[in-house]
Chain A
Amino acid sequence: MADKVIYAMYDDDDTTKDAAKHLVSKGVHVSEVYSPFPIHGIDPIIGVKHTRLGINAFLYGITGTMLAMIAIRFMMIQDWPMNIGGKPNFSFFYNIPSFVPILFEFTVLCAAHGMAFTYLLRNKTLPGMPARNPDPRTTDDRFVIELKLEDNHGFTAEQLTAWVKETEIVELEEKVIK
């Protein structure tokens, strides 16, 4: 079935937010909002859940600490206990103070890179990916609210357009996606 998409364009972040509020109050589901910079406060309006990337970073960090501990214990204690300056490496526990810097660095390394990589994957942003913003101006000074007919079964396209026209739009575009 062909799906119809309505793109309502605005020229200000506040009017975009007001428009989203207006549409949502009519029971419309807003599929996406494209903007050149983060619009603070729009997420709860259009029902975007807060990201869980922070939890991810913590898990990656913990993994990093564990990996570093295992590796250092194997290399310094088990495989070849070095004895430098009469300070032997007999037990991980007694030698841990001098391992702290690397444990910390490796934790940060894993947390930061793990999080960054997950972020790129989840956003579908990788080298060579095509841009999916509906209008090139949305990365400059235009804001676009995207409404999909598929997500709004209860309404007709005409009804949605009428509601969109009640807001302070600067441009309106309808597209049919096969």
Chain B
Amino acid sequence: MNKRSHSIAFWAGVAVFLIAVLTMTQIVRNEYPFFAGYVILQFIALAVAWSILGGYAGYVNFGTNAFFGVGVYTAVALFKATGAPLMLQIAAGAVVGMTLGFGVGLLTLRMRGIFFSIATIALAIIIETFVMNWRFVGGAAGIQIQRPPVMAPFDSYVKMLFFVQALLAVTAVSIARYIQNSRIGRGLQALRDDELAAECTGVPTLKLKLVACMISGGLISAAGAPAAMYLQYADPSSAFNLSYSVSALAMALIGGTAHWIGPVLGAILLGSTQQLLAVTISSEVNVLVLGIMLVLFVVGAPKGIIGLLRPRYRLRAGGKP
């Protein structure tokens, strides 16, 4: 298939997916699939957004929880101050996330590899401490939120959130796909393989890194923003939970970071396994199962699911992970 028919297939897939999601919200009456599905879609958005910086550019960001929590608390603060609607909360979350991403992007000027990763962990702790002491949004005790009435055509707020999160996941995937196929993606790949060589051959590395950080950060925060309305509660330890970072990273690695479909597959696999284990085994064993899955993939399939499925991606994903 050529590039054009690839594109047609992709957008047709997106349209079918969104129509299916919308139909589901209208037909299915049982609410549980929407609660569980929301979480899986949220992880798709997180994993894809993470891989824009972590996969394409090779800058491993452990601060997914910082961006996620910033999204949550931007929404909370805005809702409490002005009662802003959901879409505005998400947009504000994205803007604040991008601003934070710009800051993180500047960090990459001085820090690479493990030092960059540690700095992003520190970032999460700093922001969490700040929120803990911000009484307006509940501080350390957390804050309960009353949802506004639901908008047509949805009959419950959770169904609406499910659809909104599907839109966010699609947005994240579309942007990741665009970047992968564009000059930005090739530039990022070059700087991942050898930043110095890329700089010497005229790749504007700083500009690219800033763009990647801002897009990745903005998307993660946007995906986090509806969580406040989903939980109707926000507390710093849940919003800035390190498990968001670990999960996003694990999903991207398990799926494979060389292609946008990798994190999507990883998030679907790991996200649904988590949801399933939570209501079946439901004990310490589910943590163990996830751990074993990670180890198996790291050992058996270092390039993730896409590496297993299509050997040609092994070549394209060459260089540093």
B partners with A? no
Report B's interface with A, CB cutoff 8 A.
none
Report A's interface with B, CB cutoff 8 A.
none
